[in-house]
Chains A and B, each alone.
Chain A
């Protein structure tokens, strides 16, 4: 009877395609919006992921997320270095500065200053130039998205005239000071989506206005065999600063964006909408499909179909519609992910997300087929005798 049930579903092409379309669309909407949300949220801690050398990130205790730079005293670095169990500690400057382009255009940039001696925290992948070039006079690196977009070099004096991507050897001004592009790096997109400029710590402090020439973060590498939680406690008690593991710092950052901004609500609403579309289109159509076929279910019931057999039929129909709709929807989402350029739209399809949409489809299908099953079970077989 399962085959008959499937044929009943596939044979009713108008309803079947309607159910399929509804489930596909709901899956697409839910998964795609969730993937964009995850992508966007994972950008908030991109810097932490870009800097895998650090075992601990030491910050001012009031700092809420990685971009929330709270100035620390310059002496903080020495205080941290004096804590036992540390292999090295290196300073990191992080701050938004205005870059002035040769034609007078201005662009806010995220400036990251890495330790002058070790260059720890500098980008790992260089597209043009090499890491050592950062030691040259007035040298900065910019990442490729900024170079190819916001920091395009105008070819004429006209601001709206033709432009070319910024290259090694080009110049900018950061706070009235000259900066020379010594390399183009590839980095993960950040949440703020402003160009990221890398330079040395001292140069970065030099670029910053006088009141912001401060230490933002300290990267710490523990000596081999150190108990990290113990080290964190030691740093906290001896320096009054807070030390996070990369995972803790990422979570803290994520938590800030999740709880202090309207972003989750926004995406939550889009995802809820996807769910409602599924219920309204697919769920309702499935229920209507059962209602349309109620007289045949009734005839089968009279002919001796057990409740179990009838429920089985509805379940098979629900399962088939659910699996196909979910498959198509996930396929469409993956296709969408492949088609959009990675740095344009944050889109991160982690393995958790299909589980969420699968769960949503299960709820829709169970709801609709549950209602249908109830109808079929309550059916009075005597009704089939009435024309």
Chain B
């Protein structure tokens, strides 16, 4: 896996619809990311963040451009193979957690394993271990609704990691949470999610969590306008945030 780029894209465009009602959501994205990185996609509403992360998660096809995810082009696959690719390689963290309300926390965590047809009790064992790592061992058999928002997102983090994906996509993982809880959730994502063989892609418009990323890609109107790579620039951003009193 080393040496291979986690994400490679060149001139990616995405147009929704056709004719007069067509919307150009992405207009030529050039972007590469390596395994082991955490990258953030940020920008104003409607700039194309969700569209791009959906393409990185192999749930949306691009209209044009070149794309490699973990060395393969998902659009060259059949629908079925793309689904199996997601099942093996992609982990998801959603803004609204999306935990199935009628089943226990530990069963929710085990869903990606169930989807792969793994043995139920082994899957539940692994899910319980992972719940211990996110500090929720004692809530394993509760219903999700009995948990706080922050706890629910921790459960979702465990669910997104249980099958050890190569690509972890997080769409606004903190926007349903208060500031302090959001920070703790991001710490957990960084602690548990960062692996030398994994890319973490984070979509956010919350400046307070920018510093969890190694690189920040600023988007505007379907384009990446600048990628903040250096620690100096990152520090400057942190500084600005500090001055605004948003982080301590």
Whether chain B is bound by chain A comes out as yes
Closest to B101 in A: A11
Contact B83 A299 (CB under 8 A): no
**Contacts A303-B87, A303-B112: A7 and B50 contacting too (C-beta < 8 A)?**
no
Partner among B85, B86, B88, B120 whose Cβ is within 8 Å of the Cβ of A302: B86
Q: Which of A301-316 contact B (CB under 8 A)?
A: 301-307, 309
Give the size of the chain A interface in residues (CB under 8 angstroms).
29
**Contacts A303-B112, A387-B175: A4 and B83 contacting too (C-beta < 8 A)?**
no
Q: Which of A1-34 contact B (CB under 8 A)?
A: 1, 3-4, 7-12
Complex CA–CA separation, A299 to B95 (angstroms) = 11
Contact A306 B80 (CB under 8 A): yes
* Chain A residues, Cβ within 8 Å of B83: 301, 304-307
* Chain A residues, Cβ within 8 Å of B50: 382, 385-386
Contact A8 B103 (CB under 8 A): yes
Partner among B84, B112, B171 whose Cβ is within 8 Å of the Cβ of A385: B171
Contact B95 A385 (CB under 8 A): yes
Q: How far is the CB of A6 from chain B (nearest CB, A)?
A: 10
Contact A7 B107 (CB under 8 A): yes
Partner among A3, A4, A382 whose Cβ is within 8 Å of the Cβ of B60: A382
Q: Which of B76-131 contact A (CB under 8 A)?
A: 80, 83-88, 90, 92, 94-96, 98, 100-103, 107, 111-112, 114-116, 120
Closest to B104 in A: A7
* Chain B residues, Cβ within 8 Å of A387: 95-96, 172, 175-176
Contact of B54 with A by CB under 8 A: yes
Closest to B95 in A: A387
**Contacts A8-B103, A304-B87, A387-B176: A295 and B115 contacting too (C-beta < 8 A)?**
no
Partner among A8, A305, A382, A384 whose Cβ is within 8 Å of the Cβ of B115: A305
Complex CA–CA separation, A117 to B164 (angstroms) = 95
Complex CA–CA separation, A307 to B82 (angstroms) = 12
Complex CA–CA separation, A40 to B234 (angstroms) = 87
Complex CA–CA separation, A296 to B115 (angstroms) = 13
* Chain A residues, Cβ within 8 Å of B39: none
Complex CA–CA separation, A3 to B86 (angstroms) = 22
Complex CA–CA separation, A349 to B107 (angstroms) = 44
Closest to A296 in B: B100
Contact B100 A381 (CB under 8 A): no
* Chain B residues, Cβ within 8 Å of A382: 50, 54, 59-60
Contact B87 A4 (CB under 8 A): no
Complex CA–CA separation, A1 to B114 (angstroms) = 6
* Chain A residues, Cβ within 8 Å of B216: none
* Chain B residues, Cβ within 8 Å of A9: 102
Q: How far is the CB of B27 from chain A (nearest CB, A)?
A: 18
Q: Which of A357-387 contact B (CB under 8 A)?
A: 381-382, 384-387
Select the residue from B60, B88, B98 with max chain A CB neighbours within 10 A.
B98
Closest to A306 in B: B83
* Chain A residues, Cβ within 8 Å of B86: 302-304
Contact with A along B58-83 (1 / 0, CB 8 A): 01100000000000000000001001
Contact of A323 with B by CB under 8 A: no
Select the residue from A3, A305, A307 with max chain B CB neighbours within 10 A.
A305
Contact A12 B60 (CB under 8 A): no
* Chain B residues, Cβ within 8 Å of A303: 86-87, 90, 92, 111-112, 115
Closest to B110 in A: A4
Complex CA–CA separation, A203 to B178 (angstroms) = 100
Contact of A300 with B by CB under 8 A: yes
Supply 5 A–B pairs (Cβ within 8 Å), ascending by A: A11-B102, A299-B92, A299-B98, A305-B83, A382-B54
What residues of chain B have their CB less than 8 Å away from a CB belonging to chain A? 50, 53-54, 57, 59-60, 80, 83-88, 90, 92, 94-96, 98, 100-103, 107, 111-112, 114-116, 120, 171-172, 175-176
Given A304-B115, A382-B50, A387-B95, 8 extra CB contacts under 8 A: A7-B102, A295-B96, A296-B98, A299-B94, A303-B87, A306-B80, A381-B59, A385-B95
What residues of chain A have their CB less than 8 Å away from a CB belonging to chain B? 1, 3-4, 7-12, 293, 295-296, 298-307, 309, 381-382, 384-387
